[in-house]
Amino acid sequence: MLDLPADELSRLLMMTHSVRYGKSVLAAAGYRVTKARIVLDDMGRLLGRTNISGWAGNSHSATETATEFMTRHGLKPDDKAQSFFTIVMDVEPF
């Protein structure tokens, strides 16, 4: 699916807003997130990675357009991105 070793992908996922939010909620319940991974749903498996330009309409920023966001991050409209996935977090009690 992705051209990254599982440990590296987990490290990067741990820096996302989604996992950071999950970590704070789980910590309040007494759990620590040990790693994270991506699981594709049926549509994600069917479509694979698609051009990011197709998702520009999903940008809801009040401060920049999707094109400005892509430019700021060094992305091109024909760069590929995965969609339709779930981030799964492995946890253990404190």
With the C-alpha atoms ordered 61, 28, 8, 2, is the resulting torsion angle positive or negative? negative
Question: Dihedral (C-alpha) 72, 9, 16, 83: value to the nearest 10 degrees?
Answer: 70
Per residue in 2-19, pLDDT (tens digit) is: 678 999 999 999 999 999
pTM score: 0.76
CA–CA separation, 64 vs 49, rounded Å?
A: 24
Q: Where are the domains of the chain?
A: 6-93
Counting Cβ atoms within 10 Å, is residue 75 exposed (0-12), middle (13-18) or buried (19+)? middle
- Residue 55 above 80 pLDDT? no
